[in-house]
Amino acid sequence: MSWRKQTISGAKRACVRKREASLHIQLVERSARGVTLTEAGARLYEHACCDIEALRVGRPADGTLVTRHLTTFRHVLVAAPSLLDRLGMPASAAQLKTYPRALWAANASSVIHLAVEDEHVVLDPILSSNDYAHLRRCAEAGEAVTELPEFLARPAINAGRLQEVLAHAALPEMALHLMFLQHRHPSSIVRAYLDFCSELVGEIFPHNDDRSS
């Protein structure tokens, strides 16, 4: 949550109210336009930022931080029905080299290594971005095949704006971890933030029950 006024979803509002009840403090000011942090909420945010390293995908590499495994998930390959009507459905990962590709990358010069079950291909995308929302928009516009976290792709798939590509072939599982500084007696604010992250992940990934502390 940032300092500026925002709107938040019903699920997040419920999490915030639960956390306010557990801490016995008001964290946000609510209005018809959205929410803003109270002074106590701003202190919690600053304190949490000092103690919480990040939500990270992949294998943690920093041994100085406590790591809480939250969940595992997969990405899916997707494209707009209009693009697949025009070019056909690829039968293998190797055939993706003949399709326009928009893929996630840290920088524009990155080469993408894509593993799909027993296939491993190196792809040079026509568009690379570190913004999954932008990649989803490109795919929905029929501009390219892309790879998205399943929870981001599912609403568009259900609505018919996107279609899974190589749906029979599962992409590798990815792990999501919460990393934070170790304390013998963590503050109630830090514990509340950790619990908040765990609950929020549980709402985003409702079918995964492998979270652990």
Higher-confidence residue: 213 or 66? 66
Task: For residue 81, give its domain range.
Answer: 71-173
Quote the CA–CA distance of 90 and 205 in Å, as a whole number.
28
For 177-196, what is the mean pLDDT? 73
Higher-confidence residue: 153 or 40? 153
* DSSP annotation of 6: B
pLDDT at 62: 64
Within-domain flag for 181: no
Do the Cβ atoms of 178 and 197 come closer than 8 Å? Answer: yes
In 41-198, DSSP assigns E strands to 52-57, 66-79, 101-104, 112-116, 119-123, 127-129, 145-149, 163-165, 173-180
Higher-confidence residue: 33 or 53? 33
pLDDT at 5: 40
- Single-letter code of the amino acid located at 118: D
Tokens 């990962």, located at residue = 93
Within-domain flag for 157: yes
Secondary structure of residue 13 in the 3-state scheme: helix
Of the listed ranges 96-110, 140-154, 176-190, the one predicted with least confidence: 176-190
pTM (2 d.p.): 0.63
Task: Express each pLDDT in 14-31 by its tens digit.
Answer: 767 776 777 677 777 777
Within-domain flag for 105: yes
Average pLDDT over the chain reads: 77
The number of domains in the chain is: 1
Of the listed ranges 66-75, 106-115, 202-211, the one predicted with least confidence: 202-211
Q: Show the tokens assigned to 52.
A: 């919480």
Secondary structure of residue 28 in the 3-state scheme: strand
User: What percentage of the chain carries pLDDT values higher than 90?
Assistant: 23
Residues 6+ apart with CB under 8 A from 51: 180, 181, 183, 186, 187, 190, 193
Q: Cα–chain-centroid distance for residue 120?
A: 24
Q: Show the tokens assigned to 152.
A: 């981001």
Task: Name the β-bridge partners of 120.
Answer: 115
Within-domain flag for 147: yes
User: What percentage of the chain carries pLDDT values higher than 70?
Assistant: 72
**Residue 53 pLDDT > 50:** yes
Within-domain flag for 179: no
Within-domain flag for 137: yes
Within-domain flag for 24: no
Residue 142 sits in a domain of what CATH number? 3.40.190.10
Tokens 């999501």, located at residue = 176
**Residue 50 pLDDT > 60:** no
**Residue 6 pLDDT > 50:** no
